[in-house]
A and B are shown apart, each in its own frame.
Chain A
Amino acid sequence: MNAPSPAPVVSAETLSLWYGSFRALNGVSFDVTHGEIVSLIGPSGCGKSTLIRCMNRMNDAPTNRIEGKLHVSGYDVQAKGTDVLALRRDVGMVFQRPNPLPLSIRENVLFGVRLHAKHLSKAESEALLQESLEDVGLWDQVKDRLERDAETLSLEARQKLCIARLLPLKPRVLLMDEPCSALDPDGIGAVEELMDRLRGRYTQIIVTHNMQQARRVSDRCMFMLMGELVEMSPTASLFTTPRDERTARYIEGRYG
């Protein structure tokens, strides 16, 4: 592989991970450039979620063993001295079920700021609040009820809020673990539109079960199978002219 320029924001080199004795990732290598949307597809249990959870160290457990190299946003993720809290500030995560915190809408958006940038003035944080909610297209809907409990919002709005709360920290990478699987078709459309709007400003890595979604939103697509990265290609070519026989069989719906 020839080195892409500019420097990749995510770069994995023969990354392997064992849950106890089960090998969940098997020598995965790839690079992601800043601003692109990469989708991760593959059957259940193929290691997609495991892979993105490595990137912000969400699967740290004494029984897990990791080999190989993983660099995200300039951090050597697995190195001993890595500041995990700072890494997570740069690498936001969106979960399958929208999980706003049991706080007001305002405090949800400003949660990260309260953790990491305590010196912010009221005016600065208000500006961040508005900017973040505008970015995800929620501002007009919630600007008059910022003090309301975030859990009063619709499922779709909650998921957008979960994206909005990452933005005040100016992350470089957004990891999304099946962000639309709990949403109805309208919600899916809205969140996909949002991903498209954020394209270029943030690197987005999206795990999805929905191949149509991968096709619609992503620039490049990774197909994984049993812990292996089978193929990573520009989305259009992966779905039309897959290089690997296994990819072809998967996108034809033969398994998965």
Chain B
Amino acid sequence: MSIHRRTRPAASVYAEKAIEVVIHLCGYSAILFIIAIFGFIGREGIGFLSTHIVGMFTQTSWNPTHDPADFGILALLAGTFWCVGLSLLISVPIGLGSAVYLSEFAPERTREILKIVVELLAAIPSVVWGFIGVMIVNPMLQALGAQVGLNGLNGAIVLALMTLPLLVSLGEDALRAVPDSYRQAATAMGATRWEMVWRVLMPAARRGLLVAVLLGVGRAVGETMAVLMATGNSVRIPTSVYDPVRTLTATIAAELGEAVRGGEHYQALFGLGVILFIITFFVNLIAEWTLRGNRST
């Protein structure tokens, strides 16, 4: 018996090849972009970092336009981590709590509606969150006794609200990925719903939940507009939640416009960009490692 195979027209074969090539390029473009971005920031910033790195971590003040200029970034780093840390204290309990509610307690209809609302929350532009910080959180904090309503706590509250959607939706995914057989086992042993969540689901989903938190951290570290508006923009190492602070991101956004292109100040801001990039890169890397560990077990 012979097999008759119709040959395809050459044009169709080439079209197929072309599509394949385009798809490959799309796939690799992400790598290309990341290299290009790092190259761009690095070109402007690395030179500055290599000459000023010691001063950045030993000088206490950030006065890039003074003569001589001070490029101490400790206060900026402190501002960033202060805001992010405080925001986690707010967002992690609320975010994981609502993830648990959505995944384990909410009736199907409620769950669907809430998920849509949470996703809407994620769609609110950064600058609108800044407005909320200025117009709503600001007077509230003043009413609670803060001298200045625009401060680290305000920034943290705004950041927490901004990272909540990510935490909720990734946290919920992590919990729902836990096999039902665990739920059945725990239920059949007489666990209440809460005992099941606490003793079985949380440990089972711990890696996924940690990844959710880490990606939230990455998001919070890089957030700019809202913190610029809400934190009060005062470069200092905070000692109280009511102290105004300034973050790395806000510094770049606020000062880049007035820095002389190519000048020392300009390069210093790109140096901050490199540091920011390194921080978020490591946070994401840790998240990725955590996720991989999850797959291997």
CB-defined contacts of B184 to chain A, threshold 8 Å: 58, 95, 99
Chain B contact-residue range equals: 10 to 19
* Complex-state Cα separation, A245 to B188, whole angstroms: 36
Residues of A within 8 A of B182 (CB): 99, 101-102
State whether the Cβ of B185 lies closer than 8 Å to any Cβ in chain A: yes
Whole-angstrom CA separation of A95 from B188 in the bound complex: 10
Q: Which residues of B contact A85 (CB under 8 A)?
A: 190-192
User: CB of B297 within 8 A of chain A?
Assistant: yes
Is A115 within 8 A of B200, CB to CB?
A: no
Query: What is the distance, in angstroms, from B140's C-beta to the closest C-beta of chain A?
Result: 42
- Shortest distance in angstroms between B113's beta carbon and chain A's nearest beta carbon? 19
Nearest chain B CB to A150 CB, angstrom units: 11
Complex CA distance for A95 and B182, rounded to whole angstroms: 11
Report the bound CA distance from A172 to B190 in whole Å: 14
A58 in contact with B188 given A97-B181, A99-B181, A115-B195 (CB within 8 Å): yes
Does A218 lie at the interface of the complex (its beta carbon under 8 Å from any beta carbon of B)? Answer: no
Q: Which of A102, A111, A114, A162 has the most CB of B within 10 A?
A: A102
* Contact assessment for B199 and A111 in the assembled complex, using a CB-CB cutoff below 8 Å: yes
Asked whether B186 is an interface residue with its Cβ less than 8 Å from the other chain, the reply is yes
| Most chain A CB atoms below 10 A, which of B185, B186, B189 | B189
Q: A195 near B: Cβ within 8 Å? A: no
For the complex, what is the distance from the CA of A114 to the CA of B185, rounded to whole Å?
Answer: 14
Known: A95-B181, A95-B184, A95-B185. A102 touches B192 (CB 8 A): no
In the assembled complex, how far is the CB of residue B194 from the closest CB belonging to chain A, in whole angstroms?
11
CB neighbors of B among A71-102 (8 A):
84-89, 92-93, 95, 97, 99-102
Q: How far is the CA of A58 from the CA of B195 in the complex (A)?
A: 17
**Between A and B, how many residue pairs show CB distances below 8 Å?**
61
Partner of A101, one of B185, B190, B192, B297: B185
Which of chain B's residues has its CB closest to A97's CB?
A: B181
- Residue with the greatest number of chain A CB neighbours at <10 A, chosen from B181, B187, B188, B195: B188
Cβ–Cβ contact B191 & A92, under 8 A: no
Q: Which residue of B lies closest to A98 (CB)?
A: B181
Tell me, yes or no, whether B204 is within 8 Å of chain A by CB: yes
Please give, as numbers and ranges, the residues of chain A lying within 8 Å of B192 by CB-CB distance: 85
**Contact partners of A92 in chain B: CB under 8 A:** 188-189
Whether B203 sits at the interface, judged by CB under 8 Å, is yes
Interface string of B194-215 (1 = CB under 8 A from A): 0100011001100000000000
Please, which residues of chain B bring their CB within 8 A of the CB of A88?
187-190
Beta-carbon contact of B199 and A114 below 8 Å: yes
Q: Is A116 an interface residue (CB 8 A)?
A: yes
- A120 contacts the other chain (Cβ, under 8 Å)? no
A111 to B185 CA separation, bound complex (whole angstroms): 10
Tell me the smallest distance from the CB of A61 to a CB of chain B, in Å. 12
In the complex, what distance in Å separates the CA atom of A207 from the CA atom of B204? 29
Among B112-141, those with CB < 8 Å from A are none
Closest Cβ of chain A to B260, distance in Å, is 58
Q: How far is the CB of B293 from chain A (nearest CB, A)?
A: 13
Complex A-B, nearest 10 residue pairs according to Cβ-Cβ distance, in ascending order: A88-B190, A99-B181, A93-B188, A102-B204, A85-B190, A99-B185, A89-B190, A112-B189, A101-B200, A115-B191
New contact pairs (8) apart from A116-B190, A165-B189, CB-CB < 8 Å = A84-B190, A85-B192, A87-B190, A88-B187, A88-B190, A101-B185, A102-B204, A169-B190
- A–B pairs, 17, beta carbons within 8 Å: A58-B187, A58-B188, A85-B191, A85-B192, A86-B190, A88-B189, A92-B189, A101-B182, A111-B186, A112-B189, A114-B199, A115-B189, A115-B195, A115-B199, A116-B190, A149-B297, A165-B189
